[in-house]
């Protein structure tokens, strides 16, 4: 045999060199010459109490030709390690590394430290081998002509329990054990079999195969090196065998010595790595898109259920593999030189399908994991512990699918506050610009929604139609899931099912969809999450450990984490429903008041701080857009109506939002929700009181808003009813929990009868909900104004103009501003006169948010007020300088015959418009009235040079510009958002721009900037002195971009903080529990870990010449 020498790191024997013939005499010497040489390569790092037992088991091997090489991966006390090894295996060689590169790289030291061996036995330092392991593995290697052989692996503390007898995997690298961990070893798996790979605790590999493969992949530190070696061995044509007669106990102590529990992150990373390295190009082309799709679905599912760390691990796995693509390429090149079989033959050893997806489905439906398992849904459902949960969720999903079936596979009409999306690029441009097209143009900060929608649209590869579907229909299942998670600490599966079903039965979500109330819909989805954080902030049992034990699924979180979580959810929701921030604050106050009524004021300050702090931080996350709330809160909150439905005590207590709604059965749920107040005890009664505080406060607030006592613009009443709905649904669930826990302590009497009545009321309350789903579209109209007003978009292709929308706020398909005209604004009960504008045709998401009232809007409102009081018969001339070409008055939320229930007739408003001499009525649909402005002028009009334009004033004459009527339009070519270009053919003229924005507008002609002047108090005009090409552009101040950059940074900081704190707290809990369990295990194994003195004096094993024995001073 020859030896390999290396300068660093050095290898040295830890004990004295042997002399003479080893124990066993001449016969053993002969066996040594015949038996193939085996080198045990053990990687060790700070081994624990078990180490002597591990070394002793190696010393006790009955194979005659074994050498031992220990790789010390930078243990903290190398001298002690050397002494421990010398005490048990004095003939072993120890090779020290300066750092801990992981098992794979450390084991690769055998490539330079060992030469001439037939086999390498690669071992962890926490295994215990039975005496015949090496012999059995070598014999099986020859018998089966195998390149890799692995033993049966059992538990350290209980060898009768199995850990592994070989491993399988799918083509995505997901491991699939052939035996269930912890199964009783009854020799049922004791036949030799081909496997895909063997667990890395103990692996016998042919030395020439290990060298041909280049050893382990050095980029794989922990978790996955065994899969990598086995997969590449198959590619090289080697057999991988499990030999169950060889038994090895494995302690699995890696977690004790790792500062962070990063197993999932490393496993996800290395699964991708192994698939990338071991697969050929055609296979990678087929599997990579599917692997990416599965990962995307897993990330979305993790984010949906709040497992942010899991989502981070899956995402970072792809990032890491992209950054290490070059090293993967080098390994593929080497593997190509030894490839003996194609991927088709390798797949014969792999499991079919996607094992992670299959495991998820098994977890839901209880399917067996056996190789011959059959899909018997009904049998598995009956056998599953969570039968009630599974059945309930199946019914919920079916209910949502039935209720949404037409919307899922069709078009969601653009009614109310649910306009159509713009392209991703257009939304991003609007977010980054200092100009908005709302009203007559505005320099107010752009809504954050533009940026968020652009980001989400980018993630969906520009499918903004799909994004709109998700952001509307997705709110239904999101709200249900959030409610399910909110109820988890209650600890009763029945209570969770009933509370979640009750939340879905309350008609707020369906009514919001039916009437286009997007704000109510997103509040339905977000409010359970916010309340969950507020409940958790209180720390009261079962949402915390104050006053009792914490319920299931309760995680310890610092208060700042709760505040940040509320802020993120509130900021996202406020994108569509700005008033949500006020609702969060109000809910925290109501919870404290409810605690006062329940006689429990503990941690009230934490609830208030979480509510107020979260809302304030959410307000900051919405900067600079939220600055509009400071200058004009009314416009920031938006306006709405109840579509003519009176807000009575009867309607709000039935959660009847808008026309329709449940009848008398809507009150049945109130009866069911009263049960915990009657039979509840302990925390169930206390939280029931808080829930009813939410119910009463929400209903009272909705009733007050509906009385018209507040003249300001107000948000949808659904925003206040959603917390009430959550409170009522949770009270119903608490009633079930009280029925299970508290009722048995009472003697039979009226409480039992009340429970029966509550159950009957719950069943009755579900009947209206079933009826609401039958339409397949939640009573949403089957069409919108797009077809009736399609000529608007057609004409917008050839000219630029505005559409003035007038009518009830609830039926307008865009956001607007309230209009106060005595006599004209009396539209009836539950209606509010509103005006709004859209640019170049039908409204889009650009008109989703009403900006602050500026000079242009005040001029438009004043013109309408003048016409309303009979001050002019030529309203068209007054609004012509504002480029208003059409005036549209919707008489319902959708054209006939789709939304007759929301119809109304604004007689005074129509009479005012009919009386105008320059407005021509256009017949389109009975559900709306359209007027064409005969005096209309374009947004960018070319006027004579001598045109006199007033700079502003209060007189009607100061608002008129007769020359704009019929004037030619210039600068017709769009040049990005808020920019146009084109030629000016007139030698000396005035360019009139009907856009607010003041001095931020600049017109450049032939490289020279033209002089700008104020026009009509809100518009702009430019003097042109000749012909030539010109460019009109809005100059966004750099301060606006700096504010947007600050907004992005703030969002990033809050999100990173949320993830880091969540991960740090979770890992701390895991490590703490792990440390406690490991300490107990160490105490129990103290006596078993003692090594007999005879082991300490073990003699030298043969074959040490296989290991380099270069000495170094620090070895």
Sign of CA dihedral 452, 458, 460, 464: positive
Residues 240 and 233: beta-carbon distance below 8 Å: yes
pLDDT of residue 1052: 93
Read off the pLDDT of residues 1025-1057 as tens digits, 9 standing for 90 and up. Answer: 788 889 999 999 999 999 999 999 999 999 988
- What single-letter DSSP state applies at residue 77? -
Cα distance between residue 996 and residue 436, in whole Å: 9
What are the CA-CA distances from residue 932 to residues 437, 817, 1078 (Å)?
21, 22, 81
Is the predicted pLDDT of residue 732 greater than 80, yes or no?
A: yes
Confidence of residue 888 (pLDDT cuts 50, 70, 90): very high
Q: Higher confidence at residue 1064 or residue 415?
A: 415
Nearest by Cα to 724 from 755, 751, 753, 692: 692
Residues 150-166 as b or e (16 or more Cβ within 10 Å = b): bbbbbbbeeeeebbbbb
Identify the weakest region by mean pLDDT among 308-317, 368-377, 730-739.
368-377
Calculate mean pLDDT across residues 393-409: 91
Cα distance between residue 399 and residue 533, in whole Å: 28
Torsions phi, psi for 839 (to 5 deg): -100, 130
Read off the pLDDT of residues 683-719 as tens digits, 9 standing for 90 and up. Answer: 999 999 999 999 999 999 888 877 766 555 566 788 8
**Mean confidence (pLDDT) of the chain:** 84
Max mean pLDDT among 24-33, 213-222, 861-870 falls in 861-870
Residues 412-421 as b or e (16 or more Cβ within 10 Å = b): bbbbbbbbbb
What are the CA-CA distances from residue 560 to residues 314, 505, 1062, 1068 (Å)?
26, 34, 11, 17
Instruction: Write a three-state SS string for 269-303.
Output: HHHHHHHHHHCCHHHHHHHHHHHHHHHHHHHHHHH
Is the predicted pLDDT of residue 932 greater than 80, yes or no?
A: yes
Calculate mean pLDDT across residues 1071-1093: 40
Max mean pLDDT among 336-345, 614-623, 748-757 falls in 614-623
Read off the pLDDT of residues 232-271 as tens digits, 9 standing for 90 and up. Answer: 999 999 999 999 999 999 988 876 666 555 778 888 888 8
Q: ∠ CA 1017-1020-1022 to the nearest 5 degrees?
A: 140
Confidence of residue 359 (pLDDT cuts 50, 70, 90): low
- What single-letter DSSP state applies at residue 561? H
Is the predicted pLDDT of residue 794 greater than 60, yes or no?
A: yes
Nearest by Cα to 971 from 1027, 1030, 1023: 1030
Rg (CA), the chain: 37
E-assigned strands of 926-974? 928-933, 940-944, 973-974
What are the CA-CA distances from residue 951 to residues 883, 934, 945, 1014 (Å)?
17, 24, 16, 5
Cα distance between residue 809 and residue 811, in whole Å: 6
Cα distance between residue 1033 and residue 772, in whole Å: 50
- What single-letter DSSP state applies at residue 910? H
pLDDT of residue 378: 41
pLDDT of residue 21: 37
Cα distance between residue 308 and residue 737, in whole Å: 30
pLDDT of residue 381: 39
Nearest by Cα to 73 from 49, 109, 48: 109
The third-level CATH classification (topology) of the domain covering 11-270+1089-1106 is: Spore Coat Polysaccharide Biosynthesis Protein SpsA; Chain A (3.90.550)
Nearest by Cα to 675 from 723, 594, 727, 739: 739
Is the predicted pLDDT of residue 373 greater than 60, yes or no?
A: no
Read off the pLDDT of residues 938-974 as tens digits, 9 standing for 90 and up. Answer: 999 999 888 888 887 778 888 888 899 989 999 888 8
Half-sphere CA count of 514, side-chain side, radius 13 A: 25
Q: Higher confidence at residue 9 or residue 122?
A: 122
Nearest by Cα to 963 from 986, 944, 991: 944
The residues near 810 (Cβ < 8 Å, ≥ 6 apart) are: 416, 515, 640, 641, 642, 643, 644, 658, 831, 832, 893, 902
Is omega for the bond preceding 192 within 30 degrees of 0, making it cis? Answer: no
Is the predicted pLDDT of residue 16 greater than 60, yes or no?
A: no
Residues 808-819 as b or e (16 or more Cβ within 10 Å = b): bbbbbbbbbbbb
Nearest by Cα to 445 from 1049, 1036, 1048: 1036
Cα distance between residue 831 and residue 904, in whole Å: 9
Is the predicted pLDDT of residue 23 greater than 50, yes or no?
A: no
Sign of CA dihedral 607, 613, 618, 619: positive
pLDDT of residue 239: 92
Q: Higher confidence at residue 1071 or residue 335?
A: 335
Cα distance between residue 766 and residue 267, in whole Å: 46
Residues 213 and 233: beta-carbon distance below 8 Å: yes
Cα distance between residue 614 and residue 583, in whole Å: 12
Is the predicted pLDDT of residue 3 greater than 90, yes or no?
A: no
| Strand duo 11-13 + 93-97: pairing | antiparallel
Question: Is 0.75 topped by the overall pTM?
Answer: no
pLDDT of residue 241: 93
- What single-letter DSSP state applies at residue 7? S
Residues 538 and 498: beta-carbon distance below 8 Å: no
pLDDT of residue 1081: 40
Domain positions in the chain are: 11-270+1089-1106, 390-414+474-773, 790-933, 940-1036
Instruction: Write a three-state SS string for 740-771.
Output: HHCHHHCCCCHHHHHHHHHHHHHHHHHHHHHH
Is the predicted pLDDT of residue 1108 greater than 70, yes or no?
A: no
Calculate mean pLDDT across residues 1003-1031: 88
Residues 396 and 501: beta-carbon distance below 8 Å: yes
- What single-letter DSSP state applies at residue 65? S
Q: What is the DSSP string of 334-370?
A: HHHHH--S-HHHHHTTSBSS-HHHHHHHHHHH----S
Read off the pLDDT of residues 197-209 as tens digits, 9 standing for 90 and up. Answer: 998 889 999 999 9
Nearest by Cα to 235 from 196, 293, 185, 187: 196
């Amino acid at each position: 045999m020859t030896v390999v020498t290396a300068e660093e790191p050095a290898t040295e024997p830890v004990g004295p060199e042997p002399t003479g013939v080893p124990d066993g005499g001449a016969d053993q010497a002969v066996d040594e010459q015949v038996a193939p040489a085996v080198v045990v390569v053990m990687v060790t790092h700070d081994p624990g109490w078990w180490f002597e037992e591990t070394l002793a088991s190696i010393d006790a091997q009955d194979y005659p030709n074994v050498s031992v090489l220990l790789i010390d991966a930078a243990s903290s006390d190398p001298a002690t390690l050397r002494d421990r090894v010398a005490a048990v295996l004095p003939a072993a060689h120890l090779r020290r590394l300066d750092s801990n590169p992981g098992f794979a790289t450390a084991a690769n030291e055998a490539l330079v430290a060992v030469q001439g061996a037939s086999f390498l036995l690669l071992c962890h330092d926490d295994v215990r081998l039975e005496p015949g392991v090496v012999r059995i593995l070598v014999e099986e290697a020859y018998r089966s002509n195998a390149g890799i052989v692995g033993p049966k692996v059992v538990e350290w503390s209980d060898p009768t329990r199995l850990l592994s007898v070989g491993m399988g995997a799918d083509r995505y690298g997901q491991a699939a054990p052939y035996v269930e961990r912890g199964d009783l070893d009854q020799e049922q798996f004791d036949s030799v079999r081909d496997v895909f790979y063997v667990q890395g605790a103990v692996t016998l590999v042919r030395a020439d195969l290990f060298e041909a493969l280049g050893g382990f992949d050095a980029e794989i530190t922990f978790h996955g090196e065994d899969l990598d070696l086995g997969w590449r061995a198959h590619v090289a044509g080697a057999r991988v065998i499990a030999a169950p007669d060889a038994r090895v106990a494995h302690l699995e102590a890696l977690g004790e010595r790792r500062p962070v529990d990063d197993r999932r992150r490393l496993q996800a990373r290395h699964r991708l790595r192994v698939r990338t390295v071991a697969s050929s190009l055609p296979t990678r082309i087929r599997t990579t898109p599917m692997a990416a799709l599965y990962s995307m679905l897993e990330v979305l599912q993790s984010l949906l259920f709040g497992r942010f760390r899991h989502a981070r691990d899956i995402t970072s796995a792809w990032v890491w593999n992209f950054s290490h693509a070059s090293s993967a390429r080098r390994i593929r090149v080497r593997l190509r030189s030894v490839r003996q079989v194609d991927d088709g033959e390798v797949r014969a050893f792999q499991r079919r399908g996607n094992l992670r997806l299959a495991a998820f489905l098994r977890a839901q439906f209880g399917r067996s994991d056996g190789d011959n398992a059959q899909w018997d849904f009904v049998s598995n459902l009956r056998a599953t512990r969570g039968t009630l949960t599974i059945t309930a969720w199946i019914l919920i999903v079916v209910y949502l699918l039935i209720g949404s079936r037409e919307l899922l596979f069709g078009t969601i009409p653009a009614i109310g506050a649910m306009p159509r999306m713009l392209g991703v690029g257009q939304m991003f441009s609007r977010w980054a610009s200092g100009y908005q097209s709302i009203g007559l143009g505005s320099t107010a900060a752009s809504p954050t929604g533009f940026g968020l929608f652009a980001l989400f649209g980018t993630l969906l590869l520009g499918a903004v139609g799909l994004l709109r579907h998700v952001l509307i229909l997705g709110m239904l299942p999101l709200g249900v899931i959030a409610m399910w998670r909110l109820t988890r600490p209650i600890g009763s599966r029945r209570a969770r099912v009933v509370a979640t079903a009750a939340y879905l039965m309350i008609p707020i979500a369906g009514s919001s969809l039916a009437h286009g109330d997007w704000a109510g819909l997103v509040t339905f989805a977000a409010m359970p999450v916010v309340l969950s954080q507020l409940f958790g902030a209180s720390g009261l049992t079962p949402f915390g450990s104050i006053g009792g034990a914490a319920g299931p699924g309760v995680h310890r979180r610092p208060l700042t984490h709760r505040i940040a979580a509320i802020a993120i959810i509130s900021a996202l929701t406020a994108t569509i429903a700005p008033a949500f921030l006020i609702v969060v604050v109000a809910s925290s106050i109501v919870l404290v008041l409810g605690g006062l009524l329940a006689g429990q004021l503990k941690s009230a300050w934490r609830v208030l701080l979480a509510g107020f702090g979260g809302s304030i931080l959410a307000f900051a996350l919405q900067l600079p857009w939220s600055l509009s709330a400071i200058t004009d809160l009314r416009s920031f909150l938006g306006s709405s109506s109840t579509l003519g439905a009176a807000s009575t005590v009867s309607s709000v207590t039935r959660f009847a939002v808008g026309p329709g709604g449940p009848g008398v059965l809507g009150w049945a749920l109130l009866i069911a929700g009263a049960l915990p107040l009657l039979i509840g005890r302990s925390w169930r009664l206390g939280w029931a009181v808080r829930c009813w505080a939410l119910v009463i406060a929400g209903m009272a607030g909705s009733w007050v808003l509906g009385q018209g006592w507040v003249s300001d613009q107000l948000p949808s009443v659904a925003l206040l009813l959603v917390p009430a709905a959550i409170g009522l649904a949770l009270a119903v669930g608490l009633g079930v929990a009280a029925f299970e826990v508290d009722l048995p302590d009472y003697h039979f009497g009226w409480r039992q009868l009340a429970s029966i009545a509550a159950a009957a009321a719950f069943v009755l309350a579900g009947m209206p909900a079933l009826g609401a789903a039958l339409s397949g579209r939640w009573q949403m109209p089957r069409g919108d104004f797009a077809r009736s007003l399609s000529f608007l978009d057609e004409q917008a292709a050839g000219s630029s103009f505005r559409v003035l929308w007038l009518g009830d706020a609830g039926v307008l398909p865009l956001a607007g501003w309230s209009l106060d005209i005595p006599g004209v604004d009396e539209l009836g009960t539950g209606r509010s006169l509103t005006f709004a504008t859209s640019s170049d045709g039908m409204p889009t998401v650009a008109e989703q948010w009403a900006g602050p009232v500026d000079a242009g809007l005040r001029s438009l409102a004043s013109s309408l007020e003048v016409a309303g009081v009979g001050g002019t018969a030529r309203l068209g001339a007054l609004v012509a300088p504002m480029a208003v070409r059409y005036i549209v008055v919707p008489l319902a939320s959708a054209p006939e015959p789709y939304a007759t229930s929301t119809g109304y007739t604004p007689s005074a408003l129509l009479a005012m418009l009919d009386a105008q001499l320059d407005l021509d009525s256009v017949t389109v649909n009975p559900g709306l009235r359209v007027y064409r402005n005969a005096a209309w002028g374009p947004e960018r009009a070319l006027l004579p040079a001598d045109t006199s334009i007033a700079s502003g004033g209060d007189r009607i004459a100061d608002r008129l510009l007769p020359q704009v009527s019929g004037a030619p339009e210039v600068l017709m070519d769009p040049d990005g958002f808020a920019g146009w270009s084109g030629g000016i053919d007139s030698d000396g003229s005035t360019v009139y721009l009907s856009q607010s924005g003041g001095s931020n507008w600049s017109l450049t002609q032939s490289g020279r900037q033209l002089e700008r002047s104020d026009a009509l108090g809100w518009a702009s005009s430019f003097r042109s002195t000749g012909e030539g090409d010109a460019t009109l552009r809005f100059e966004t101040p750099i301060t606006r971009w700096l504010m947007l950059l600050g907004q992005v940074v703030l969002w990033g900081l809050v999100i990173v903080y949320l993830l880091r704190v969540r991960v740090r707290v979770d890992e701390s809990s895991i490590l703490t529990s792990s440390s406690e369990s490991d300490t107990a295990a160490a105490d129990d194994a103290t006596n078993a870990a003692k090594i007999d003195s005879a082991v300490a004096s073990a003699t030298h094993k043969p074959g040490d010449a296989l290991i380099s024995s270069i000495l170094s001073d620090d070895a």
